[in-house]
Structure 1
Amino acid sequence: MKTPVQGAGGVLFNLEGKVLLIRDRQGYWCFPKGHLDEGESLEQAALREVEEETGIQATVRAPLSVTRYRNNKGIEREIHWFLMEGQGKIRLEKGLHGAGFFDLTEARRLLAFPEDVGLLEEASRHVQAPNFGID
């Protein structure tokens, strides 16, 4: 049995409530996500990944659910997600094709992976909660 690969990711909203998506190296729209570096917490890894891939500085607002899946090489992945808030000029990591903030309807249409759509729905509920604090 293979050991799950643990990673971290974020569903990042700007102050207008729009969500940040990236277009990855295969051309799929998704949320920024990646692996843990040695000694990092899941929260630190999520923040680092967002900044490295997009240049956006984010703040973690709330933890979300965990996505577990097996990729086409049989490796189990476990992504721990965080709801984030951030804004700034997007600067893409080399190899990414695009990134931007989209309203929720457009983001749902663009997302390439069903588990990401589910996480966006969950994140949307957090954003609509009175304690999220979008001004």
Structure 2
Amino acid sequence: MARTNLDDAGGGGQPDIAAAGGVVVRRDDDRRTRIAVIHRPKYMDWSLPKGKLEKGEDWREAALREVTEETGFRCEATVELPPVSYTDRKARTKLVRYWLMEPVKGKFKPHGEVDELRWLTRREAEDLLSYDHDRKLVRKALRVRRLRRIRGALPGPDWRWSV
């Protein structure tokens, strides 16, 4: 069953901001795994695509919508990753739930919110990402992806990270 509100977000207390996003991963012609990293001119940072939930929106739906809005790619969300909590620049608490995603179709076009998208190797992404929590999440996502390929299966919909 999809989680639809902050009461079952997996953390204690209510965050000031609820957001969802994706670690978007693809394999290039050179068979190297690449991660989508976006540049947001408003914040002058490099991050993973994410955004706030809209009223009544499911977390997974929000993640897919935000990734499409920010990257131009429609994606398949495969596995939910560990949630990330942090305090933003305005001292607000923020909870972000992420999914490992693979692009299905689309093309990036720069826009006001995101002016650049780069497909980077893990090391390149870790060097460029502005926030430590994004770097850690990329490492976790790629471990999950490797395990998924090795085992040839995905965990069921009720599977959760133990925190």
Aligned partners of 1:72, 1:35: CA distance in 2, in Å? 16
Shift of residue 55, structure 1, vs aligned partner: 0.6
Aligned partners of 1:62, 1:111: CA distance in 2, in Å? 22
State whether structure 2 residue 57 is matched by structure 1 residue 40. Answer: yes
- Higher RCO (C-alpha under 8 Å, 6+ residues apart): 1
Aligned to 1:29: 46
Cα offsets for 1:58-117 (capped at 9, x unmatched): 110100011111123221100011110115321233242311211111111111100000
State whether structure 2 residue 133 is matched by structure 1 residue 115. Answer: yes
- Amino acid corresponding to residue 101 of structure 2 in structure 1: M
Q: For the pair shown, which has the larger CA radius of gyration, 1 or 2?
A: 2
State whether structure 2 residue 27 is matched by structure 1 residue 15. Answer: yes
Q: Say how many residue pairs are matched.
A: 132
Aligned partners of 2:71, 2:126: CA distance in 1, in Å? 20
Q: Is the 8 A contact 1:46 1:82 kept in 2?
A: yes
State whether structure 2 residue 122 is matched by structure 1 residue 104. Answer: yes
Q: Paired residue for 1:52, among 69, 75, 86?
A: 69
Give the direction of change, closer, same or farther, for the CA distance of 1:52–1:132 in structure 2 (3 Å limit).
farther
Aligned partners of 1:79, 1:95: CA distance in 2, in Å? 18
Aligned to 2:6: none
Aligned partners of 1:58, 1:14: CA distance in 2, in Å? 10
- Amino acid corresponding to residue 120 of structure 1 in structure 2: V
- Amino acid corresponding to residue 27 of structure 2 in structure 1: L
RMSD across aligned positions (CA)? 1.8
Moved over 3 A (4+): none
Aligned partners of 1:132, 1:24: CA distance in 2, in Å? 34
Aligned to 2:101: 84
Aligned partners of 1:72, 1:19: CA distance in 2, in Å? 25
- Give identity over the alignment, percent: 30
Q: What TM-score do you get using the length of structure 2 for normalisation?
A: 0.74
Q: Is the 8 A contact 1:55 1:92 kept in 2?
A: no
